[in-house]
Amino acid sequence: MNRLVCLVLLLSFWIFPGEGYDPCCTQPCQNQGVCLSKGADAYECDCTRTGYYGENCTTPELLTRIRSTLKPRPDIVHYILTHYKWIWDIINNIPYLRDAIMSYVLTSRSHLIDSPPTYNADYNYKSWEAYSNLSYYTRTLAPLPQNCPTPDLPNAKQVVEKVLLRKQFIPDPQRSSLMFAFFAQHFTHQFFKSDFKKGPAFTKALGHGVDLGHIYGETLERQHKLRLFKDGKLKYQVVDGEVYPPLVKDVQVEMHYPPQVPEEHKFAVGHEAFGLVPGLMMYATIWLREHNRVCDIMKQEHPDWDDERIFQTTRLILIGETIKIVIEDYVQHLSGYNFKLKFDPELLFNQRFQYQNRIASEFNTLYHWHPLMPDSFQIQNQVYGYHQFVFNNSIVTEHGIRNLVESFTKQTSGRVAGGRNLPASVQGVAVKALEHSRQMRYQSFNAYRKRFNMKPYSSFEEMTGDKELADELKKLYGHIDAVELYPGLLVEKPRHNAVFGETIVEMGAPYSLKGLMGNAICSPEYWMPSTFGGKVGFDIVNTASLKKLVCLNINGSCPMVSFQVPDVKFQSSENMNSSSVHSTQNNINPTIVLNERSSEL
């Protein structure tokens, strides 16, 4: 508690409020107390249901005191979940225990997310406008009041160059594959779809969650153009005997391709920007095949159903498959837990849980995992630099889905936390992320640590675990409480042998689980076989996996497919030679990539 008061004092020195400033500028209210200004020089903290009281909500109630002494710190919970494999092997096989722990994971995480949502970039107080206008991303922490003194922040480009830019490729110690990285990008772009014409605070993805708008299109008009209107299926083309998305010229949907891309390589899919990299188009192709495959099964089960019903039911099945794969393959991998995660909506039926979701700006910022990207892409015996890889669908059909999957499974992604691992080719994206978060008046990295129940860092070295990086960061920001969210997440010391540091996980997991389980199909009214066309469809959802998704949709034997690079020999072959492969002329000018895309996402 003393520490908190100290911090408040420090913060008031950092942004010293003068006459006429909003008294809430110093953020005096702690522990999620709400600051209410009363005239120019007085404020009141609303501590309702925070478990604290006092002028600044800093005095814990007795129950809070007991709870906080009993509550294990996140780093300890994480340690337990990632160690003691033999104990977990036992627990994982005792259904009652596994369910109880999974239920705890889901509720303890999702309780950190305000639902219904509260603030947005233009409203730092509760309002009907902020609640009801779906064009905005929501905000977990309210934006800093408009009339506060602006802290003296370092130049965004400098921050990127000094502490984020890659010097030499640092492989992810969790051995995430590019198959993982492109899944992340493909999956999240259905709900991170900023509407930069309106500004970074706005989104075009009004579904605010897993609605598969990246497969079916955001609007009904686009969906209709992509549909075959026969047996529920999506339009497709056949190249070399294999199914691929249709061409833009044949379906007339807008896609973002630079002019030099030939017509026969302009594929059309749900998301306008998925022509950007072959990794995205690979997943788009796989999901398109999956949709049409499930349609065949539905048609067989229900010969009486019309096109519309098959289409709609198949969409629900694919949403279910997506959530299943994200929890049990994707989050399982990324968490590094020895506890076996489980997708089972019934675990929440006896809990207080809101089946709704609103995507937060901070979640978007946090998901800028561009350090995952390598220096170059090795596909079969070819090595592609960024300028060859970006906007090149020829790679998809030349190599075919099977070979892409196998190559992406063999290549290791970069480590995200720990600093200095951002590929030069995408540095412009990082500069934008920083500029946007300033425009949206984000609170500090340490403010977010507090919001998600973590201790704020007290020094640069504690934050980075690296003297040199700490010095550089200190030169840029001066005070630890001035460090911004995005660079903070990327320079934070990674957890032991992990791709991320503590903050990105402790913040990301609540958003992620809330978004997945808050989906309508997880609610008691939806979660039953009939919603998914009967037992057959329900089984497809409940047995979905990355491996099945890939292998049921390519001809011939099952290729190597995993979110983790399976063997040490593969990671070294690419990574050890990546610096020799990587040369400056191999790198596309970052401003070109950015210009070609900034209007698109």
Q: Which of 186, 189, 368, 582 is an active site residue?
A: 189
**Residue 123 phi/psi, 5° resolution?**
-135, 110
Under the binding rule (CB under 6 A), the answer on residue 193 touching ligand HEM is yes
Is 227 flagged in the annotation as binding?
Answer: no
Alpha-carbon 213 to chain mean position: 16
Is 370 flagged in the annotation as binding?
Answer: yes
Among 185, 322, 446, 531, binds ligand HEM (CB under 6 A): 185
Rounded to an integer, what distance in angstroms lies between the CA atom of residue 134 and that of residue 119? Answer: 12
Name, in order, each residue with C-beta under 8 angstroms of 224's C-beta and a sequence gap of 6 or more: none
Q: Which of 119, 367, 386, 486 is an active site residue?
A: 367
> With CB cut-offs between 5 and 8 Å by kind, which of ligand NAG, ligand HEM, none does residue 133 bind?
ligand NAG
For this structure, is 189 an active site residue?
A: yes
Alpha-carbon 282 to chain mean position: 19
Rounded to an integer, what distance in angstroms lies between the CA atom of residue 370 and that of residue 490? Answer: 10
Using CB under 6 A, which residues numbered 53 to 82 contact ligand NAG?
54-56, 58
Identity of the residue, 80 or 581, whose beta carbon is nearer to ligand NAG in the bound complex: 581
Beta strands 237-239; 242-244: pairing state: antiparallel
Identity of the residue, 23 or 374, whose beta carbon is nearer to ligand HEM in the bound complex: 374
Neighbours of 599 (CB within 10 A): 12
> With CB cut-offs between 5 and 8 Å by kind, which of ligand NAG, ligand HEM, none does residue 398 bind?
ligand NAG
Neighbours of 487 (CB within 10 A): 25
Among 102, 298, 426, 544, binds ligand HEM (CB under 6 A): 426
> With CB cut-offs between 5 and 8 Å by kind, which of ligand NAG, ligand HEM, none does residue 370 bind?
ligand HEM
Among 242, 296, 466, 596, binds ligand NAG (CB under 6 A): 242
Identity of the residue, 54 or 529, whose beta carbon is nearer to ligand NAG in the bound complex: 54
Number of residues that bind ligand NAG (CB under 6 A): 26
| Residue 291 Cβ vs ligand HEM, minimum distance, rounded to whole Å | 23
Beta strands 34-37; 237-239: pairing state: unpaired
Under the binding rule (CB under 6 A), the answer on residue 26 touching ligand NAG is yes
> With CB cut-offs between 5 and 8 Å by kind, which of ligand HEM, ligand NAG, none does residue 59 bind?
none
Where would I find the H helices in 543-589?
Answer: 546-551, 568-581
3-state secondary structure 142-211: CCCCCCCCCCCCCCHHHHHHHHHECCCCCECCCCEEHHHHHHHHHHHCCCCCECCCCCCCEECCCCCCCC
Work out the widest C-alpha separation in the chain, in whole angstroms: 74
Contacts with ligand NAG, 580-599, as mask; x by CB under 6 A = x-------------------
Assess contact for 179 and 409: CB atoms under 8 A. Answer: yes
Here the tokens at position 480 are 């630890």
**Residue 161 phi/psi, 5° resolution?**
-70, -40
Binding site residues, ligand HEM, CB under 6 A: 181, 184-185, 188, 192-194, 276-277, 364, 367-370, 372-373, 390, 426, 429, 432, 593-594, 597-598, 601
Residues with catalytic annotation?
189, 367
Binding site residues, ligand NAG, CB under 6 A: 5, 8, 12, 26, 28, 54-56, 58, 133, 135, 241-243, 289, 388, 392, 394-395, 398, 553, 555, 573, 576-577, 580
